Structure 1
Amino acid sequence: MEVLGRLLGMLAVLLVGAGLRSTGALNATRTARLNAAAYYVALPALVFVGTYDQSIADLLSAELFVGSLIVLFATGTIAWIASRDRLSTDRRSVAIIQSYHSNLGYLGLPLVAATFDARVTAIASVLLGFVTLVQLPLTIVVLSSFGRADTDIGRELAALATNPVLLALLAGLAVGSVGATFPDGVAAGLDALGSLALPLALLCVGAALQIDADAVELEAVGSIVALKLCCMPLLAWAVFSALSVDGATFTAGVVMFGMPTAVSTYVYASELGGDAEFASLNVFATTVASVGSLFVLITLLG
């Protein structure tokens, strides 16, 4: 019941964000400030605290790396096949990217940190880092290939070099590799900042969600929800089981890949020629439905 309560609390904060946006209390400027606080402060602090006292050799295994790539590309391939001849070009590109592009940073890592132990959180931080390096470029390439908008792919990819989450991950792993220690007060302060990542992120996600009831296509939306919340974590379960990874790696991999579609896919779809309304609807649907699917996953994983 504790897990269910936590997930329902997550949904409640998400809906509060949506409600504050609808009343005008959380306007675009305030949402941008909250987003900046989560993206540049709270989430990097969470990543750093989760990795600075861990050795990279103990966290990053070949099985985790290979298994994650298999899950990512297998899900995208299934979505590409499933959407062929069923959706328009701008919707097909969105369907493909939203099947695999998970909300690992804003929801995945904070939820793992709030639910599991330090080792699972550290592995989830590493997974967040290298999967981001794969799924972001892949999303840009897919949308650019299908879309009609002109974009500088090189510029979009170069932005990864200044990604604060990746920089925090590299810093944490570097500190962990040399065995440096921090005063208790500093570590506690960073831990407190990291604990703000989930509520801040949920408010931002809620404020960004938009839904047009007239634009709902239940079959199309349902297929994306099924791919993202059922197919992808089941693939992760099968792949990591076949690779015989340890329990912490298995838990981190399955839960992280069970996250809903990232809100950033809506932004990329808007910029790169995808169907933005369709993308927003899918983000909303997968985020709300993930409360049930994550409850099942976390309960099964103990």
Structure 2
Amino acid sequence: MNLADVFLETLNVTLPIFAMVFLGLVLKRLRWIDQGFVSTASLLVFRGTLPTLIFLSIVQADLDATFDPWWLGFFALATLGSFLFSWGWARLRVPRAERGIYVQGAFRGNCGVVGLALAAGLYGEAGLSAGGLLLGVVILIYNALSVVALSRYQPDTATDWRSLLGQMVTNPLILAVVAAVPVAALGLELPSWLLTSGEYFASLTLPLALLCIGATLSLSAAVGDEGRLALGASLMKMVTLPALGTGAAWLAGFEGRDLGVLFAFFASPTAAASFVMVKAMGGNATLAANIIALSTLLASVTVTLGVFGLRAAGLI
């Protein structure tokens, strides 16, 4: 396969995802969808369709082929490393008041939507199953580390660790993983009608979620001083950290699907949940929103080039 064929194959994976994102932007501009739709659809995805998708992908997976403690542990360590690297850089280059927001925006990826969509585009059901396991690990880490960074630079905000722990253990995505693993491990067979109905419901996840991401984008996010700071965090999220994380994974011996799914998660744009957490803790919510918007816009280029480079090199 020559490079032109590899590039076209790469576009077949990434273009459908980002086409849906930009379709959401267009539909919002045309007023075919509004903020009410985005809020309702986002809640449906988070509480219903995405947990169902994760549950079914794990239940129907071969855990012998997807459950690898070293692989999961490496991703956890790489996420911690990304957090520490972002924090160290922020202490050198970012005004103190904005450091926590910068750090969260730079290391916290939208793995639950874009990461899973990329994993599915690259490897189908096997990618979804592996991504679901990674998601269960990363949700806990993201929430804990985000609160650490934000509370460090929001001294007037008290951190309620009990509330944080409660939110994590009741997170629908984590509960989906916890429920699915024993079912898959024991080889329990669910009724075919239930699986079919669940698949219909779960199939709403990626189109709805990607449309909502697009509908919340702002093309003016790079304007002014806050825009430049947001651009810096977005470049860290979409270029520096994916390159470092994927390079470390390759040096650790991962390749093929394992490396491809890791890249999909490393290269996901900043999670929308980062805005919610910043706003709840009294931080600069505008900066957080700008980082989400810019990293999502950059993703259409950086993810495509990343997948193309890895495939051209024969690594995934």
**Superposition TM-score, scaled by structure 1 size:** 0.90
TM-fit CA distance, 1:141: 2.0
Aligned partner of 2:188 in structure 1 is 180
Aligned: 1:276 with 2:285: yes
Aligned partner of 1:254 in structure 2 is 263
Distance 1:176 1:26, change over 3 A: same
Secondary structure, aligned partner of 2:298? helix
Do the aligned residues in 1 keep the contact of 2:222 with 2:230 (CA within 8 Å)? no
- Code of the aligned partner of 1:43: L
1:157 to 152, 159, 165: 165
How many aligned positions are there?
A: 302
Do the aligned residues in 2 keep the contact of 1:75 with 1:227 (CA within 8 Å)? no
Cα deviation, 1:1-24, whole Å, max 9, x if unaligned, reads 254255334333323333444555
Secondary structure, aligned partner of 1:84? helix
Of the structure 1 ranges 133-142 and 86-95, higher mean CA displacement relative to structure 2 is found in: 86-95
* Unaligned stretches of 5+ residues in structure 1: none
Do the aligned residues in 2 keep the contact of 1:63 with 1:245 (CA within 8 Å)? no
- Code of the aligned partner of 1:208: T
- Code of the aligned partner of 2:42: N
Q: Give the whole-Å Cα distance in 2 for the aligned partners of 1:189 and 1:282.
A: 37
Q: Give the whole-Å Cα distance in 1 for the aligned partners of 2:36 and 2:96.
A: 33
C-alpha root-mean-square deviation of aligned residues, in Å?
Answer: 2.3
Q: Give the whole-Å Cα distance in 1 for the aligned partners of 2:95 and 2:128.
A: 39
Aligned partner of 1:170 in structure 2 is 178
**Superposition TM-score, scaled by structure 2 size:** 0.86
TM-fit CA distance, 1:75: 1.6
Q: Give the whole-Å Cα distance in 1 for the aligned partners of 2:113 and 2:285.
A: 20
Q: Give the whole-Å Cα distance in 2 for the aligned partners of 1:152 and 1:209.
A: 31
Aligned: 1:120 with 2:127: yes
Cα deviation, 1:134-171, whole Å, max 9, x if unaligned, reads 11111122112211434523212311121111111112
Secondary structure, aligned partner of 1:274? coil
- Code of the aligned partner of 1:157: L
2:47 to 35, 40, 46: 40
Do the aligned residues in 2 keep the contact of 1:63 with 1:243 (CA within 8 Å)? no
Aligned: 1:266 with 2:266: no
- Code of the aligned partner of 1:284: A
Do the aligned residues in 1 keep the contact of 2:98 with 2:153 (CA within 8 Å)? no
TM-fit CA distance, 1:34: 0.5
Do the aligned residues in 2 keep the contact of 1:255 with 1:297 (CA within 8 Å)? no
Q: Give the whole-Å Cα distance in 1 for the aligned partners of 2:48 and 2:307.
A: 27
Aligned partner of 2:208 in structure 1 is 200
Secondary structure, aligned partner of 2:269? coil
* Unaligned stretches of 5+ residues in structure 2: 1-7
TM-fit CA distance, 1:105: 0.4
TM alignment of 1:79-98, pairs within 5 A: 79-98=86-105
Secondary structure, aligned partner of 1:167? helix
Do the aligned residues in 2 keep the contact of 1:54 with 1:177 (CA within 8 Å)? no
Aligned partner of 1:191 in structure 2 is 199
Higher relative contact order by CA 8 Å / sep ≥ 6: 1 or 2? 1
